[in-house]
Every structure is written in C-alpha cells, then in structure tokens.
C-alpha cells in the first residue's frame, strides 16, 4: 500500500500526494515520520507531508505535538518484533508524546483550547506535527507541567511507579536492587525510592565514563551504584548489607548473567520483576531460589497495564502524583537530546549505539 492511499485510514488525514518528491495539497501541510513495511527504522521511515481537515467535527480534537521521545519499544515496533503491531500500513511511528489542543469539535465536553494532553493509548502515532483524535483518546495534564517530562510521562515514570507499588509492600528503610540503573526507568526508580525513603542498589555496565555516571546517579538519590562485575564480589556486597537490609524487590531490564547475579542478593520471600531484556539473553534462575528462598518471579509491561486501566481513577491518580513530584523538583527528567524530524536517522543510529546516557526527543516548533 502506498503512502498516498494508506493515510486515509489513519483518522482525519486526507489528500496526501507523495510521489518522487512532488506534493500537491489543499491545506497547510503537517509532517510525520511514517513507514509502510517493517524493517530497520533508518531504512523504512520517511518524513512525509500529511493534510489535516480545516475544521474538526463531533467529538474530535486537533492537537499540535510539542515533543515526542524515541523509545526502544518504538524501534522494535517498526522492526516488527514488538508484541503490539500495526494492523494496517502505512503507519506513523511513535507511541508517546505531549501536545497542545488547537481545535475542538462541537461535541467535546472535557477538553478545551490550549490544554496540554497526552494520548491515552500507545499506538496513536506521535512522531507527527499534528493529529486529530477523539476526546476519549486523550488525557489532559496540568498546563504547567514541564514539556520534556510530559512527553515521557506515560512510559518510563509510570513503569517505575507501578513496579515499586504493585508487587511488594515496601516500607521506609526497605531496599531494592535493579540493573539498568542508568536507564530512563532506572533513573525514575532511583528518585522515587529516595522520595519514599527506600534504599537502592543500582547496577550498571562498565563504561568509559563510569565514575561520572556513578556520581550522577548518586546525586539523584542512589545509595549504591555498582558495575555488573562489582556485584559478584562477596566482600563488597557483605559490606553493603552490613549497612542496609537485603532487597525485597529486584527490577530486571537486562536478563542474562546480570539478572542471575541480582537474584543472588534478593532476600527470602523477595520478588523479581522483569520488564526488559536488553542483553537478549534469558533469565536464568538458580533452583535454590525457588526451593529455599521462596522467591517470586513476575513480568511487567506498561502497555498491558494501560490497556487494563485505560481510563481508571488509579491511572489518573498516578499521573497526578508524578506531575506533582515533577513540579516540586522531586523527579528530574533524565538528560534529553532534542532533535527535529529531519534528524531522525542520526538520532536513531546514535541511540542504537548505546552509552549515550540521554533520551532522544523530537521537538516540534
């Protein structure tokens, strides 16, 4: 299916004529990063002009995107390996972002011009300058929320929040251990743990800027930052556990040997939550962990939680609390690198190289 035919089914996008660089249109153009086959993002993505209706109708809302991050899940979706896949092509990339409302239909009740909103679902396509969605497809945020934080609120902060709230009843003074400690989720875990008076052991890969990374995470509230090699040193870990209790919760986004090493430090009756597999290696669990320590192992996927709690009071409460923490400087947004849609190839290539310690975010003028 060609771009010119396919965008008719994406909701209030019309009159796209894209062939050999020639664009004909009736209204002012909107732009998006779109793809019509699965593949490597730098190969299949294209920046294309898309036309929006002059006036929205019924319960529809026109939004202008302000910022939208590039997440690993976005890359996996384009590659065709993510569990949630588009049902038809072409499709706009991106699963989260923040936008401003610039037009509302006559039947819209709870959204007004100028509101700052995020999509309530995860497959609306956010790598675009404009979009038209229904009222139920949007969640209104506090207008004063920081744009870069709002653009990322739906995935990483919520993932950290839910994993620390839903699996183990942690109390002040308890401890947790996590790998991927310098990931976006890991950074929010560190800050939430500090706010809730939970001690944290944070595992990261060895890297050229190791000491700077350790200091940065400690400045956010990390109690301990260790490399994957350091958590295998018994004497070092014994010293740590003379200061804090053994973790009741382990958060795993790496898998492989690093996950197994974290399990070895988990307290009796503790729980490991796996939410990623960056090493692309399986989670190997020692037999004694089941038999003698009564450990529990569960998985977590924020997309599934969102689908099950699409418009729940629990979800709105979480977003309000995270927004308030951000406003009060209790949650600092991880470092971002702002790029334009035209810079998507370089941004994705750099992101896939790793060790950037930053989130790439499309910033729209």
Residue in 29, 28, 19, 33 with CA at minimum distance from that of residue 343: 33
Which CATH superfamily is 156-303 part of?
A: NAD(P)-binding Rossmann-like Domain (3.40.50.720)
Output the CA–CA distances (angstroms, integers) from residue 1 to 5, 219, 302, in the order listed: 7, 51, 31
N-term to C-term CA, the chain: 30
Provide the residue ranges of all domains of the chain, joining segments of one domain with +: 3-151+334-363, 156-303
Q: 318 with 136: CB under 8 angstroms?
A: no
For residues 295-311, give the mean pLDDT. 93
Task: Work out the pLDDT band at 352, boundaries 50, 70, 90.
Answer: confident
The reported pLDDT for the residue numbered 167 is 98
Distance CA 47, CA 43 (A): 12
Burial of 19 (0-12, 13-18, 19+ CB in 10 A): exposed
Per-residue confidence (pLDDT) for residue 51, from 0 to 100? 79
Ranges of beta strands (E only) in the chain are: 13-14, 29-35, 46-52, 60-69, 91-92, 98-104, 116-119, 130-134, 138-141, 175-179, 199-204, 224-227, 249-252, 271-274, 296-299, 336-339, 359-363
Residues 1-25: tens digit of each pLDDT: 355 444 543 443 433 333 223 223 3
Q: What is the mean pLDDT of residues 151-159?
A: 96
Query: What predicted TM-score, i.e. pTM, was given to this entire model?
Result: 0.89
Q: Using the Cα atoms of residue 122, residue 187, residue 317 and residue 174 in order, give the sign of their dihedral.
A: positive
The distance from CA 28 to its chain's CA centroid, rounded to whole angstroms, is: 31
Q: Mention every residue, 6+ apart, whose C-beta is less than 8 A from residue 45.
A: 33, 34, 35, 78, 93, 344, 345
- Residues 327/336, Cβ–Cβ less than 8 Å: no
215-234 pLDDT per residue, tens: 999 999 999 999 999 999 99
Check whether 144 has a pLDDT greater than 80: yes
Rg of the chain in Å (alpha carbons): 22
3 state SS of 305: helix
Residue 27 — very low, low, confident or very high, per pLDDT cuts 50/70/90?
Answer: very low
- Is residue 67 helix, strand or coil? strand
DSSP 83: S
Nearest CA to 70 out of 341, 257, 274, 284 is that of: 341
CA dihedral 364, 127, 306, 201 (to 10 degrees): -70
- Dihedral angle sign, alpha carbons of residues 145, 154, 47, 128: negative
What is the reported pLDDT for 353? 79
Is pLDDT above 90 for 79? yes
Q: Could you give the residue numbers annotated as active site?
A: 82
CA–CA distance, 125 with 118 (Å, rounded to integer): 11
> What's the mean pLDDT when you consider all of the chain?
90
What is the architecture of the domain spanning 3-151+334-363?
Alpha-Beta Complex (3.90)
């Amino acid at each position: 299916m060609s771009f010119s035919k396919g965008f008719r089914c994406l909701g209030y996008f019309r009159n796209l004529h894209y062939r050999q660089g020639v664009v004909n249109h009736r209204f002012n153009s909107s732009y998006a990063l779109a793809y019509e086959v699965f593949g490597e993002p730098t190969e299949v993505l294209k920046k294309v002009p898309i036309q929006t209706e002059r006036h929205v109708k019924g319960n529809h809302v026109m939004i202008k995107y302000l910022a939208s991050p590039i997440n690993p899940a976005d890359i996996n979706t384009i590659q065709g390996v993510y569990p949630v896949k588009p049902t038809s092509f072409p499709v706009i990339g991106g699963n989260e972002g923040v936008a401003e409302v610039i037009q509302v239909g006559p039947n819209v009740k709870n959204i007004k011009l100028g509101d700052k909103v995020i999509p309530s679902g995860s497959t609306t396509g956010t790598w675009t300058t404009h979009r038209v969605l229904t009222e139920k497809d949007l969640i209104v945020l506090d207008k004063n929320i920081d744009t870069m934080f709002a653009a990322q609120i739906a995935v990483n902060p919520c993932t950290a929040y839910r994993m620390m709230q839903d699996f183990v009843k942690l109390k002040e003074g308890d401890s947790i251990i996590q790998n991927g400690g310098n990931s976006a989720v890991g950074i929010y875990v560190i800050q939430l743990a500090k706010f809730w008076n939970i001690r944290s052991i944070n595992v990261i890969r060895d890297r050229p800027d190791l000491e700077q990374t350790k200091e940065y995470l400690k400045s956010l509230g990390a109690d301990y930052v260790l490399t994957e090699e350091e958590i295998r040193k018994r004497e070092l870990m014994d010293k740590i556990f003379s200061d804090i209790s053994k973790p009741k919760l382990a958060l795993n986004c790496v898998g492989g040997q690093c996950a197994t090493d974290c399990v070895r430090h988990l307290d009796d009756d503790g729980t490991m939550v796996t939410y990623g597999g960056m090493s692309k290696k399986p989670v190997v669990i020692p037999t004694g962990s089941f038999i003698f320590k009564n450990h529990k192992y569960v998985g977590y996927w924020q997309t599934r939680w969102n689908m099950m709690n699409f418009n729940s009071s629990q979800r709105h409460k979480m977003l309000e609390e995270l927004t308030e923490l951000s406003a009060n400087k209790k949650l600092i947004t991880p470092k971002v690198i702002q790029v334009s849609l035209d810079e998507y190839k370089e941004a994705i290539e750099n992101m896939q190289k790793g060790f950037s310690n930053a989130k790439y975010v499309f910033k729209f003028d």
